[in-house]
Amino acid sequence: MLDESKSALAETLVLAQGRAHEFCGPARRVLAAWVMGWDAPVLWLRLRHNPDRLCPQGLADWAAPGGVILAQAPRMSDLLGCAEDGLRSGACALVVADLPEPVAMTPLRRLHLAAEEGCARRANGGVRALVLTPGDGGTPAVETRWHMAACPARDVSATSPVGAAWQLTRRRARMAPMAGWCVQKDAALSLCPVPS
């Protein structure tokens, strides 16, 4: 990504330290990969039986593959326990929990508390948790909820080819209204209407 576009995306995608945030929708992993480029090291947790596997080398355009620790768990309770431990230790700047469904309120609250503890332990920065859920998400008590899906890229000139683009929507935030953006492959942003 271009540094200028990357900073514009970082200014839009505000993710408070010491909190858990939800990324949902079909392109949730792409969004998580962009955030991985800002924070390292990253602990990425998934269920063992999940057929969707992350290939760190495929993230090279967005994040350093060497900064990703991949782990898998047999059950959701084990995965959430590992996420808590990773956050609480403060060893990783970002802990990603790739889940098949939204998390209940009690486990989510435990992730918030663990992230707060991790921030206190991490000398050179904060700690964040990302909860990745399919569809429209719905995890209660998350700090923010972001939905991302592929959309047609805009052809700004007759000579440029149409490339990859995404519709990014902030669906929930404690301190900001619902909003939507079109994000081009180079992370250039433009406002677009929020789908109803």
Residue 98: strand pairing partners: 46, 132
pLDDT digits (tens, 9 = 90+) for 154-187: 555 544 555 678 899 999 998 889 999 888 766 6
Q: How far is residue 152 from each of residues 34, 166, 182, 185, measured CA to CA in Å? A: 19, 8, 9, 11
For 9, the token pair is 């995306």
- Which residue, 39, 38, 95, is CA-closest to 70? 95
Domains delineated in the chain: 14-146 (3.40.50.300)
**pLDDT per residue over 103-125, tens digit each?**
999 999 999 999 999 999 987 77
- Give 156 or 82, the one with higher predicted confidence: 82
Sign of torsion over alpha carbons 116, 117, 118, 119: positive
Tokens at residue 188, please?
Answer: 């250039």
